[in-house]
Amino acid sequence: MVSERRSSPHSDPAGHPPLIETLDRAGLRITGPRRAVADLIDARSGLFSAQDLLDDAGRKRVPIGRATVFRALDLLEELGVVERIELPDGGHAYVACEPAHHHHAVCDGCGRVREVDDHALTDAIAEIERHTGWTVSGHRLELYGRCPECRTTAPAEASRS
């Protein structure tokens, strides 16, 4: 479990279209399980783990195989609408997001995730290439901290360094 989301009015925070649509537009088969996984993800906000989805599914009495969930996540990840991110503690979690290249800021208070664009980093990387003679073909950046809501409220509530 990644972090129990308090049910908030953020069910569709960034106004993503339903994920299932992405599968459809990509010409992939729309199957029951895929729709189910897509819906489960749509119903969440912020971080989630594959296990979270499995748990959700169990709670809603929608039986889905473990492998299927991972396969669906792989698909969605390839399509760029779900990303697997690295947590500060070394664990992984997934998050729904836009296909365009970007990065994520993760709130360690509430698990909210905010997409962050790339601008400044692109320059920084060009600079690094010039400096080092390396060719940088990809990168991964994750930011950790507190969202505006959590910054003003109690700084308490879990979080490892």
Partner DNA sequence: GAGGATATGAGACATGGTCTCGGAAAGACG
Partner DNA sequence: CGTCTTTCCGAGACCATGTCTCATATCCTC
* Binding site residues, DNA, CB under 7 A: 28-34, 49-51, 63-68, 70-72, 74, 84, 90-92
Cα torsion angle, 136, 138, 143, 144, sign: negative
**With left for phi above 0 and alpha for psi between -120 and 50, is residue 14 left, alpha or beta?**
alpha
* DSSP SS3 for 40: helix
Cβ(121)–Cβ(139) under 8 Å? yes
> Which of Zn ion, DNA, a copy of itself, none lies near 127, with the C-beta cut-off 5 to 8 A by kind?
a copy of itself
Least distance to Zn ion, CB of residue 66, Å: 29
- Candidates 2, 36, 75, 109; binder of Zn ion (CB under 5 A) is 109
Residue 66 CB, nearest approach to a copy of itself (Å): 17
The interface region with a copy of itself, picked from 9-17, 23-31, 49-57, 120-128 by CB under 8 A, is 120-128
What separation, in Å, do the N-terminal and C-terminal C-alpha atoms of the chain show?
18
Quote the distance between the C-alpha of residue 65 and its chain's center. 21
**Min dist. Cβ of residue 151 to DNA (A):** 27
Q: Find the shortest distance in angstroms from Cβ 109 to a copy of itself.
A: 10
Compare residues 1 and 120 and give the one whose CB is closer to DNA.
Answer: 1
Q: To which residue do tokens 């290249």 refer?
A: 101
Size of the site for a copy of itself (CB under 8 A): 37
CA distance 143 to 108: 10
